[in-house]
């Protein structure tokens, strides 16, 4: 607030208000010597300007350097300045004008009361402006997170209902119906579960690791039916971590990326490991880039990264000559 472009206009208005308030309440008569209005006005203007500028400099140079709330630091340091300003103003007045202003103690208390009131008013308004700004920032961040979550859902659904995915699923289902009818029924049920989960949890900001793992296992089962011996998966989740939370559909998106960008053959099967590592879950795969890679928008990994940034967390991506992994932090419920 103290850095407003038109701050000198606000200073002038506040000084004018304080000046007329003093006149109406006869505040100037409380001093040992009554001041004519044309001497009182510049004194009030100087006092208000000094308090405003002191707060501006405190906020700019010191308030955010101390490991405490900036508003608390601002107020404490401004109070110290108020005492110093009140003391110096009375001492300078007495030094320049002499005996008529000899009641230094009484004038100091009155000057302190005036400057403290102005400072309290300015810091109160500054706090209102500060919290209003924070509230707007949080609303904007929440809206951005909802947008990212919706985008994640759309990305997952788009991958699932894309012609490539859809026709592959139909081909697998056709083969199962002809050769292994019991497996065909299980395949349809798992496919329905994947879609149902996507529709149910897409609006949630966080889901439990238990919920995410249940649907991931269904999705991996679909992929294993499709790729058969060309795909291997391993899951090792610490039961103590299952109630912790993460953004929905994040692990499924990572597994989709693995299948999309890597080749899988019976001779060199594609391996996917999902395991907990402390307070995080890791999705790791063998690195076998396709010779003719599919076009990538980069939305999946970036989407997950941005949703975690909103939560104040950071994902970790690691790549070696043989493996690629993404580490997703788990959030306490």
Ranges of each domain in the chain: 7-139, 162-329
88, pLDDT greater than 70: yes
**For the chain, what is the radius of gyration of the CA atoms?**
34
Give buried/exposed letters for 161-170 (b at 16+ CB in 10 A, else e). eeeebeeebe
22, pLDDT greater than 90: no
Q: Which pLDDT band, with edges at 50, 70 and 90, does 161 fall under?
A: very low
The dihedral of CA 192, 198, 199, 200: what is its sign?
A: positive
Most confident of the following: 117-121, 131-135, 292-296, 317-321: 317-321
CATH dotted code for 162-329:
3.30.565
Instruction: Kindly state the tokens that stand for 37.
Output: 């209005």
| List of long-range contacts for 199-204, beta carbons under 8 Å, 24+ apart | 201/248, 201/249, 202/149, 202/150, 202/152, 202/153, 202/248, 202/249, 203/149, 203/150, 204/149, 204/248
Share of the chain above pLDDT 90, in %: 18
| pLDDT top residue among 140 and 108 | 140
* Neighbour-count burial of 115, counting CB atoms closer than 10 A to its CB (0-12 exposed, 13-18 middle, 19+ buried): buried
Contact (CB, 8 A) for 246 and 331: yes
What is the C-alpha end-to-end distance of the chain, expressed in Å? 36
Question: What is the distance between the alpha carbons of residues 217 and 194, in angstroms, rounded to a whole number?
Answer: 10
Closest CA to 120 of 18, 23, 26, 46: 18
**272-282: average pLDDT:** 95
DSSP H or E segment with residue 324:
strand 323-329
| pLDDT top residue among 290 and 92 | 290
Mean pLDDT rounded to a whole number for the chain = 79
158, pLDDT greater than 50: no
Question: In 66-208, which ranges are continuous DSSP H helix?
Answer: 70-97, 104-161, 163-179, 181-201
Q: Residue 324: its pLDDT value, please?
A: 96
93, pLDDT greater than 80: no
Q: Which pLDDT band, with edges at 50, 70 and 90, does 30 fall under?
A: very low
């Amino acid at each position: 607030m103290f850095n407003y472009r038109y701050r000198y206009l606000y200073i002038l208005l506040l000084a004018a208000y304080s000046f007329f308030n003093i006149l109406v309440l006869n505040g100037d008569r409380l001093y040992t010597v009554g001041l004519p209005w044309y001497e009182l006005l510049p004194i009030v203007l100087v006092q208000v300007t000094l308090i405003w500028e002191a707060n501006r400099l405190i906020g700019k140079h010191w308030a955010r350097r101390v490991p405490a709330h900036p508003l608390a630091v601002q107020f404490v340091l401004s109070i110290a300045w108020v005492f110093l300003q009140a003391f110096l103003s009375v001492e300078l007045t007495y030094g320049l004008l002499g005996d008529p202003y000899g009641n230094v103690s009484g004038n100091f208390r009155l000057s302190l009361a005036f400057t403290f009131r102005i400072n309290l008013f300015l810091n109160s308004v500054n706090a209102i402006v500060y919290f209003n700004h924070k509230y707007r920032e949080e609303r904007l961040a929440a809206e951005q997170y909802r947008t990212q979550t919706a985008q994640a859902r759309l990305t997952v659904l788009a991958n699932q209902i894309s012609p490539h995915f859809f026709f592959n699923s139909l081909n697998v289902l056709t083969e199962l119906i002809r050769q292994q009818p019991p497996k065909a029924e299980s395949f349809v049920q798992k496919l329905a579960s994947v879609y149902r989960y996507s529709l149910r949890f897409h609006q949630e900001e966080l889901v439990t690791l238990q919920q995410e793992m249940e649907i991931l296992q269904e999705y991996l089962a679909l992929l294993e039916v499709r790729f058969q011996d060309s795909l291997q998966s391993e899951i090792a989740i610490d039961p103590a971590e299952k109630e912790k939370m993460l953004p929905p559909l994040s692990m499924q998106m990572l597994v989709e990326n693995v299948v999309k960008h890597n080749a899988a053959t019976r001779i060199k099967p594609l391996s996917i490991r999902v395991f907990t590592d402390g307070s995080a879950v890791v999705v790791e795969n063998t690195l076998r880039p396709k010779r003719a890679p599919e076009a990538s928008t980069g939305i999946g990994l970036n989407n997950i990264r941005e949703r975690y940034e909103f939560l104040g967390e950071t994902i970790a991506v690691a790549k070696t000559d043989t493996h690629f992994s993404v580490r997703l932090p788990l959030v306490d419920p």
